[in-house]
Structure formats: structure tokens, C-alpha cells
Structure 1
Amino acid sequence: MEEFNASKPIYLQLADRINRQIVSKELKAGEKLPSVRDMGIKYSVNPNTIQRTYSELEREGILEAKRGQGTFVTEQEARLVELRDNLKQEQILLFVQVMQEMGYSSLEMISGLKDHLNKLDIGDE
């Protein structure tokens, strides 16, 4: 099981994990999530923490609670596309910040990224 980072609230780390599962299609639009209790057991956290995670993702329009049925991934395609783009932008920002801190220029970053993608044979050029 993955460990939690002490510098960020657990409910937000769980929200990030769920978001990544949605973007990677591990969780699909309209799919039911485990109950608060089952999710708490899975991650060894208090069910109140899971409830807070689910509530946060509902507020963001990522999850939808259906009374008496459970919690589901939204089927609003526009919201899922927006989520995917937001996660991509966050990762790019993080990458650029770290590379800048190490003293790399924009051209060095682009060149390094292209080289890396070419080695993986997933470049689009």
C-alpha cells in the first residue's frame, strides 16, 4: 500500500489518487466507487476522511452522490476533459519548476523531453 505524505492532508492525497484513476480510465465515467467504509478499510484511514474526500470531489463536480445508491464518477464529459487537462498542467508546472531550480533553460527542457520520448518511441513527430 502507498504511504501518505505528511505535508499534505490525507483527504486531498486521496482525492488526487481518485482523480488520477479517473484520468487513466481505471475508474470510468458513471462507475460506482466503494462505500466510505470499504474505502477507509482499503486505505487504512478513518471513514470520515473518505467522506471528506468524496465531498471535496463532489464539490468539484468529479463525483456525484446518489441517495441510497452510492457515489459515482460523473458522466459529464466536459468536466472529465477539464480534469484531465488540469492534471496535465499541474504535472508540467511541477516539472518546469524543478528543472528551473536545477538551472535548466527552456530549450534544454524541450530537448531533454524530446530525447526521452524518442527513446520510449512515443514521440508524435
Structure 2
Amino acid sequence: MSTDETFFQEIGGHETFRRLVDNFYRGVADDPVLKPMYPEEDLGPAAERLTLFLEQYWGGPGTYSEQRGHPRLRMRHMPFKVNPDARDRWLKHMREAVEELGLPPLQEETLWSYLERAAFAMVNTFEE
């Protein structure tokens, strides 16, 4: 990796993030706790938002902010009951999606470490 290359570029850019998100939402589609948190009938709009957010976070295009403004992740997730069970389900599906990418160990750990921290930060209730 050159010193000017972003993590977004290093792991394969848009195609890698698209695969990650598509793999993740395949799991969410059948999850009885997570699926109801997505208001659209089709998970496509949510997948697009997550793809754009992750790409921007990792040094890709700033399309997410151009279209939606500041990410404000905690605020955007407040309408939903994100308890430890929901977090763990999210992490399960995301872990499977990350593993399907087949990234080198350092890149996988870099990506996973962020996703895990983000999931824990989104918990907004401890109620069942």
C-alpha cells in the first residue's frame, strides 16, 4: 500500500464494500429481530446507505454526507430499540459478511475492530 492509498482503496474500493453490505443484508433479511428495524419493504435503500457510509468512513467518496448530511449515527438509530440482543445479531451477520470477503488478516482486523466498536456504541437500551 502506498502512503497515499486509503483503506477504501487498499481493500478493493466500491466492489468490496458492496459485497460486504450485500452479504450482511442477506442475513438481516431473515432475522426476526433486525428485519423489522428497516422501514422499507425492500432492504435496498438501507444497503445503499450503509455502503455509502462505510465507503466514506474508510476514505472513499463523500457521497453519504453529500446526500444525507453528517452521519449522526446514534441519533439516526434512536428510533429503534437497539439492545444487546440486536447488537449481537447485527455483529453475527456482519462477522459472516466480513469473513466472506477473504481479506488479509490485518485488513480484516482493522475493518472488524471498527464495526465491533460501532455496534457497541449504537446500543440505546437494555430493555428486552
Task: Please indicate, yes or no, whether the TM-score normalized by the shorter chain is above 0.5.
Answer: no
Larger Rg belongs to:
1
Q: Which has the higher contact order (CA 8 A, sep 6+)?
A: 2
Q: Which has the higher helix share?
A: 2
Specify which structure has the higher proportion of strand: 1
